[in-house]
Amino acid sequence: MAYNQESIRTLKGIGEKTGKLFEKLGVFTIGDLLGYYPRAYHTYEAPVSIKELTIDIAGAVEGILQKTATVRTFQRTQVITASLKDGTGTLQLTWYNMPFLCSILQAGTCHIFYGKVIKKNNRLTMEQPEIFTRESYQAMMMSMQPVYGQTKGLGNKAITRAVAQALDIRKMEREYMPAYIRKKYELAEYNYALEHIHFPKDRQELLFARKRLVFDEFFLFLIAVGRLKEKRQDRHSKYVMKKTPQAEEVIHNLPYELTKAQKKVLAEVENDMTGGLVMNRLVQGDVGSGKTIIAVLALLLAAYNGYQGAIMAPTEVLARQHYEGMAKLFEEQGIHKIPVLITGSMTAKEKRIACEKIENHEADIIIGTHALIQEKVVYDNLALVITDEQHRFGVGQRGMFESKGEAPHVMVMSATPIPRTLAIILYGDLDISIIDELPSNRLPIKNCVVNTGYRKNAYSFIKKQIEEGRQAYVICPMVEESEMIEAENVLDYTKKLRSELPAAAIEYLHGKMKGKEKNRIMERFAAGEIQILVSTTVIEVGVNVPNATVMMIENAERFGLAQLHQLRGRVGRGKHQSYCIMVNCGDQEGTQKRLDILNRSNDGFYIASEDLKLRGPGDIFGIRQSGDMEFKLADIFTDANILKTVSEEVTELLNRDRDLATEEHQELRRRMEEYIEASYDKLNL
């Protein structure tokens, strides 16, 4: 956004050190902080008796201390303990390195303690509980407390304080949504929505604020898509191609036969590229359905017609995998077309050599990441651009990639299984092809949903698979421990797994690591040097490791079904039987029902449509699951009804005022220009 661009460090209490921690979360300015929405909300329930507390669940209990808290030191750690009794039982209270509490927790004083209850040494215990007076706890019960994504050294309280301060000093945003739309759909005023998404009084207020912000995200995105569609519709192509015998020969010489679905989609792509109009096509296919070979054949068709083609992947690991796969195929089949790789981590010299090859047309096929759309990269006759895993690229990136040629053919690939009705809305500027069949040589993945008591069995199973020469992934929802969110984290889990399986080569991977380090870990895993990879969802779009046969997902209840299916697709890629173990650590009603959909089916499109049926419009407390398209808050599954409504409204608006030129749309036009500019800014060029 163009407003509130002051540095985060202008806020009180945020110096260089804390500023850097915020930057790790992608928060650089006050505007970024205001747009850093909570990932969940914490509600404080009324205190209960000790007997009514539930193990492994946070709760509140009120009581009078019979004795003053005591402090003892164990191995340089100060342990403060107190005991609470009521007519139903006894509760041990424990804190670490907080000796000042002894002056607060005096005999005869009344407090409310809030925290997670565990059983330790056969005693009910609350570790590190929050301490309240009756009055302060009642105030907490009157509101919903935001829970933000955190990083080590920057906890939820510090982020909450910073957001509250940012809201106090912010520059108010001018309302840009036309009044008639706000009235028609009962949408909150923008500044109100922004404040109450962070600090809602109750669920009703939260839903009201969220509805406005979700509406906005879809609205701006679909106007941008609508503009792309206008630019593209029925344009005559400068690059009219002819089918070539060499491209047909490649298909004939493949070590496998294309499925019927692949042949159908390939025919649609070839008809577009030879038909005289510019191709704008989405190729949607489940994980492992064989989209990549369609892309390679399309790139070869362009190359054999004397043109260049380029494919952009979201990660360096995936770009390198495409490059190595193509180089190997070309060598095996004697194809005399030159692929070249260009990524952000290459040295200046390597980039210069690659750019010269591209500009001089020594390279026929160019493979890379966002580096492909940097100004320095100049193409010679770029006739085809392909983006892989489209939901990872914004509309701005897509438009910029295409501007590298003179209206080249466009193919977009996605493994995100979105129901067709929603895909037509989200990719309104594209024709849609679906590969709805898996290669016949793929063994279906065996699935199981288990509780935490199965972990030991799972570790034994993984150990056995490793002894047979296979590899495994273990997925955790968090990078490091959080003070507010109970979930497995990569760093602690890696330590735990190393002690459980000391003979195994175990490493971790997460999104906060530097690009080169991530690439190095993934390459070592692909080479078989790492046997178990503990990771966040960063591997959702990752390297192809046919030898990996086990996918164990911790806190499966915290992921959306579409994302779980994507993760599961990292295994089942080789000749060996593969397995997916989903550990359900929650006890919420409906969680098991959702996970059972995955348990009984490996079909991503079926899973997506079933998921859509299960989730209601008010079901916002689950985890977002539509990948990371352009949306911070909106979820295409949870918010499918809003998405459909916005689509109809945007179509009507653009039919009436295509250029947003009327007076009532002036503010919307300004905001639209900011939105498109921001999507270009995301490229960090």
CATH number of 1-39+148-171: 1.10.150.20
Residue ranges matching CATH 2.40.50.140 in the chain? 43-141
What is the DSSP code string of 585-634?
A: ----TTHHHHHHHHHH---HHHHHHHHHHH--TT--SS---STTSS-SS-
How high is the mean pLDDT in each 10-residue block of the chain (685 residues)?
74 92 91 91 89 86 92 88 90 91 92 89 89 90 85 89 94 91 96 95 92 94 81 81 90 90 96 93 85 95 95 85 91 92 89 93 92 82 85 60 80 81 81 85 87 92 96 87 67 93 93 81 91 86 83 88 84 91 77 82 80 60 49 83 93 90 91 77 42
Q: Which CATH class is domain 446-601?
A: alpha beta
- pLDDT score recorded for residue 176: 93
Decide: 290 and 435 in contact? Cβ < 8 Å: yes
| Mean predicted lDDT score pLDDT of the chain | 86
Check the CA dihedral 215-217-219-222 and report its sign.
negative
Residue ranges matching CATH 1.10.150.20 in the chain? 1-39+148-171
Q: Give Cα 135 to chain centroid, integer Å.
A: 40
Give the Å distances, CA to CA, from 312 to 69, 154, 225, 446: 61, 35, 19, 32
What is the C-alpha separation between 80 and 77, in angstroms, rounded?
10
Decide: 399 and 228 in contact? Cβ < 8 Å: yes
Q: Which CATH class is domain 238-435?
A: alpha beta
User: Up-side HSE of residue 477: CA atoms within 13 Å toward CB?
Assistant: 24
What is the C-alpha separation between 315 and 594, in angstroms, rounded?
30
Nearest to 425 by CA among 155, 133, 679, 221: 221
**532 DSSP β-pair partners:** 472, 506
CA dihedral angle for residue 294, residue 300, residue 303, residue 309, rounded to 10 degrees? 30
What is the C-alpha separation between 247 and 335, in angstroms, rounded?
10
Helix (H) or strand (E) holding 34: helix 30-34
Nearest to 397 by CA among 524, 268, 198, 228: 228
What is the DSSP code string of 450-474?
A: E-GGGHHHHHHHHHHHHHTT-EEEE
Residues 6+ apart with CB under 8 A from 103: none
What is the C-alpha separation between 315 and 543, in angstroms, rounded?
9
- pLDDT score recorded for residue 685: 30
**508 DSSP β-pair partners:** 534
Q: Is 62 helix (H, G, I), strand (E, B) or coil?
A: strand
- For tokens 């608006």, name the residue: 653
- pLDDT score recorded for residue 510: 87
Nearest to 550 by CA among 522, 509, 578: 578
- For tokens 């989405």, name the residue: 282
Residue ranges matching CATH 3.40.50.300 in the chain? 238-435, 446-601
Nearest to 289 by CA among 682, 619, 475, 566: 566
What is the C-alpha separation between 539 and 491, in angstroms, rounded?
16
- pLDDT score recorded for residue 483: 52
CATH number of 43-141: 2.40.50.140
CA angle 660, 661, 663 (to 5 degrees): 105
Strand order in the sheet with 431-435: 339-342, 365-368, 308-312, 382-387, 409-414, 280-285, 431-435
| Cβ atoms < 10 Å from Cβ of 236 | 9
> With 0-12 CB in 10 A as exposed, 13-18 as middle and 19+ as buried, what is 192?
middle
Residues 6+ apart with CB under 8 A from 393: 312, 314, 387, 401
pTM across the whole model:
0.73
Nearest to 188 by CA among 639, 197, 198, 671: 197
Rounded to the nearest 5°, which phi and psi values hold at 121? 50, 40
Helix/strand number for the chain, H first, E second: 23, 22
| Cβ atoms < 10 Å from Cβ of 514 | 9
Q: Give Cα 485 to chain centroid, integer Å.
A: 18
Report which residue type is found at 176.
Y
> With 0-12 CB in 10 A as exposed, 13-18 as middle and 19+ as buried, what is 375?
exposed
- For tokens 């300015």, name the residue: 29
Q: Is 346 helix (H, G, I), strand (E, B) or coil?
A: coil
Check the CA dihedral 218-223-226-228 and report its sign.
negative
pLDDT in tens, 143-174: 788 989 888 889 888 999 999 999 999 889 89
Nearest to 264 by CA among 248, 247, 244, 283: 283
CA angle 508, 36, 10 (to 5 degrees): 105
Which pairs with CB-CB distance under 8 Å and at least 24 residues apart come from 115-118?
115/58, 115/59, 116/56, 116/57, 116/58, 116/486, 117/53, 117/54, 117/55, 117/56, 117/57, 117/58, 117/59, 117/91, 118/55, 118/56
Check the CA dihedral 451-566-37-591 and report its sign.
negative
